[in-house]
Amino acid sequence: MLTIKFIRNVIKTIPRTFSTTLIRKTEEEFAEKYIEDVLESDNEYNEVVDNILHLKDIHSCLIIQPYVKWGPRKLTITPEEQLEEAVSLIQTLPSWKVVDTMKIPLESLANKSLFKTGNMEKLSNIIVSNPEISAVFINASNLKRVTSDILQENFRIPILDRYKIVMQILKMHATSKYAKLQVALAELHFVRRKSQNDFFHTHDPEVLKLMFQNREQKIKKAIQELRNQRMLLRSNRRKLDYPVIAVVGYTNAGKTCLIKALTGEKSLQPKNQLFATLDVTVHAGILPSGLEVLYVDTVGFLSDIPTNLIECFIATFEDAILADVILHVEDVSSSCFEYKRNHVLTTLKDLAKKSGNKDIMNKIMSVANKSDLVDVNIPNSLPISAKLGTGLEELRFKLEETVLQATARNVMTIKVPSGGNEMRWLYKNSTVVTEIPDENNLQITKAKVIITDTNLSKFKHYFLKNKRL
């Protein structure tokens, strides 16, 4: 049986070796000329952002989870599960803390003040009597301006919603220039829509409008340039003919941890927090046969996010859309496993419609990660533990089987003259697994290769012609 060390040594001889580090560096250098101009210090704009988001300071939060008790608007995820995720969001922000949590049942989330008089008074008394509470986090997607104003008037402290908190987390985790631009655009959409309260009566509306327009034009231009560059880099990867496996899943499902376990890449540092990965990164790995593949680590999915925020990050999922295989990593230990699964699959379906790629759903292969924490059996999902390494060997073989089928690759043995041009061509245009002398003729080498249908046809045309393999 071939060892990983031997396989790596073989791959080193292949001239088409791919450098993910080089591609990331190229993208960053390309972005550098845009980032300073687009995201330069703008005191007036920053003042607008600070007064809308109220996130300049570190907060100790009271988290309120409103939920609909019954009817068609009642969610399948429980209030307890929603509240658990809200706590995780706050804990993702450095030095922020949760003072207390509350669940408030409502008949509807459409009420202008959100809460009726009784609940409003009860909450006001709780907040006033606890000086430790510096902000209230209403775990709802995006509060209307009038609702936020009413709540702030009653509670007398900043009101945060899910959009504001997620935006702050995204800003914190955006490390590449591309991600920073995406976050800046998402923030701008939010700030523009929220900029009609009393604070801005002292500002010239036309000046604000012009400031927003100029910033948006710069950001969109820079993003489009970077997307064009990414398309070029992606095209180069396709020319190298490496199979691509996109790793997707709900945030904190263990995607990065699994990629590190499959590739052995020491630079990857998985974190037990929401949105630990914001930038799309590419990592080389080897399947059991010696076939080298690229794992694409994508942004984690999160439910109850406003549409325009999702739209700003559509580009980060393009690699998943175009991948040969989509590996859906699921946290089987999560109390809202089914809800998260449905959210990821529904989002992927929406992406498929928008991209016109109807084959996305046929590319998906699911793994039940963190299976060491619970004793459950998920149909059509391979149980694994990326942290402990259990189930990974079976996963590698299953991935190989899926990749070979998806990319029209063949595993076969070809007899070629020893030391001839045929062998050199095979090393350049296929994955050579083994090469051993023919027991009946030492002038002939039996090469076990993994080769695409297209390259196999080329090989026959160049070298075999009327000969048989």
CATH number of 69's domain = 3.40.50.11060
Could you tell me the sign of the dihedral formed by the alpha carbons of 188, 190, 192, 195, in that order?
negative
Q: What is the pTM of this model?
A: 0.79
∠ Cα 131 134 137 (to 5°): 130
In this structure, the dihedral spanned by the alpha carbons of residues 98, 103, 104 and 108, taken in order and rounded to 10 degrees, is 100
Q: What's residue 22's pLDDT?
A: 44
Boundaries of domain holding 34: 19-53+163-239
Share the mean pLDDT of the chain: 81
190 falls within a domain: yes
369, part of any domain: yes
Q: Do 48 and 67 fall into the same domain?
A: no
Same domain? For 46 and 116 the reply is: no
Question: What is the pLDDT averaged over residues 60-72?
Answer: 86
**pLDDT per residue as tens digits for the range 24-42:** 444 445 545 555 556 655 6
Q: Is residue 301 in a domain?
A: yes
Query: Could you report the per-residue pLDDT of 423-460, keeping only the tens digit for each?
Result: 999 999 998 999 999 998 989 999 999 999 999 999 99
Sole residue written with tokens 């680590």:
297
- Asked whether residue 143 falls in the same domain as residue 188, the answer is no
Per-residue pLDDT at 307: 62
What average pLDDT does this structure show over 152-162?
Answer: 92
Per the DSSP assignment, residues forming a β-bridge with 281 are 297
pLDDT at 315: 61
Among 10-19, 20-29, 109-118, 343-352, the range of highest mean pLDDT: 109-118
What is the pLDDT, as a whole number, of residue 54?
62
276/192 same-domain check: no
How confident is the model over 91-116, as a mean pLDDT? Answer: 91
Q: For residue 120, what are its two tokens?
A: 């409003």
* Same domain, yes or no: 320 and 380: yes
- pLDDT score of 320 more than 50: yes
Please indicate, yes or no, if residue 62 is contained in any of the structural domains: yes
Give mean pLDDT, residues 96-107. Answer: 93
Nearest C-alpha neighbor of 264 from the set 81, 386, 130, 403 = 386
Higher model confidence: residue 211 or residue 271?
A: 211
Predicted confidence at residue 466, as pLDDT, reads: 53
Mean pLDDT along residues 304-312:
66
Query: What one-character DSSP code corresponds to residue 356?
Result: T
Per-residue confidence band for 68, with pLDDT thresholds at 50, 70 and 90: confident
Q: Which has more pLDDT, 354 or 162? A: 162
* Residue type present at position 15: P
Check pLDDT > 60 for residue 15: no
Q: Are 81 and 336 in contact (CB under 8 A)?
A: yes
**Confidence check: pLDDT of 290 > 80:** yes
pLDDT category at 98 given cuts 50, 70, 90 is: very high
| pLDDT digits 0-9 by tens, 355-404 | 777 778 889 999 999 999 998 888 889 999 999 999 999 999 999 999 99
Does residue 447 belong to any structural domain of this protein?
yes
Contact 302, 248 (CB under 8 A): no
Buried/exposed 42-55: b ≥16 CB within 10 Å, e otherwise: eeebeebbeebbbb
Q: What's residue 21's pLDDT?
A: 47
- pLDDT-derived band at 224, boundaries 50, 70, 90: confident
Give a yes or no: residue 469 inside a domain: no
Instruction: Note whether 93 and 181 are same-domain residues.
Output: no
What CATH number does the domain containing 364 carry? 3.40.50.300
Decide if pLDDT at 75 tops 50: yes
Portion of the chain with pLDDT greater than 70, in percent: 80
In a domain, 298, yes or no: yes
Specify the pLDDT at position 175.
Answer: 72
**Residue whose C-alpha is closest to residue 351's, from 327, 377, 320, 325:** 320
Question: Do both 150 and 179 map to the same domain?
Answer: no
* Sequence-ordered list of residues with C-beta below 8 angstroms from that of 270, at least 6 positions apart, any chain: 254, 256, 257, 260, 276
Based on the fold, state whether residues 308 and 395 are members of the same structural domain: yes
Q: How far apart are CA 450 and CA 430, in angstroms?
A: 6
Tens-place pLDDT, residues 227-279: 777 777 667 666 667 899 999 999 889 998 999 999 988 777 666 656 655 66
Q: Are residues 295 and 167 in the same domain?
A: no
What average pLDDT does range 462-467 have in this prediction?
Answer: 72
Give yes or no: residues 301 and 330 share one domain.
yes
Among residues 185, 212, 239, which one ends one of the domains? 239
218 domain-assigned:
yes
Query: Phi, psi at residue 330, to the nearest 5°?
Result: -120, 135
79 and 225 in a common domain: no
253 and 374 together in one domain: yes
> Into how many domains does the chain fold?
4
Q: Say what the pLDDT of residue 64 is.
A: 96
Choose one of 383, 405, 427: the last residue of a domain.
405
* Of the residues 157, 172, 197, the one at which a domain ends: 157
* Alpha-carbon span 16 to 22, nearest angstrom: 14
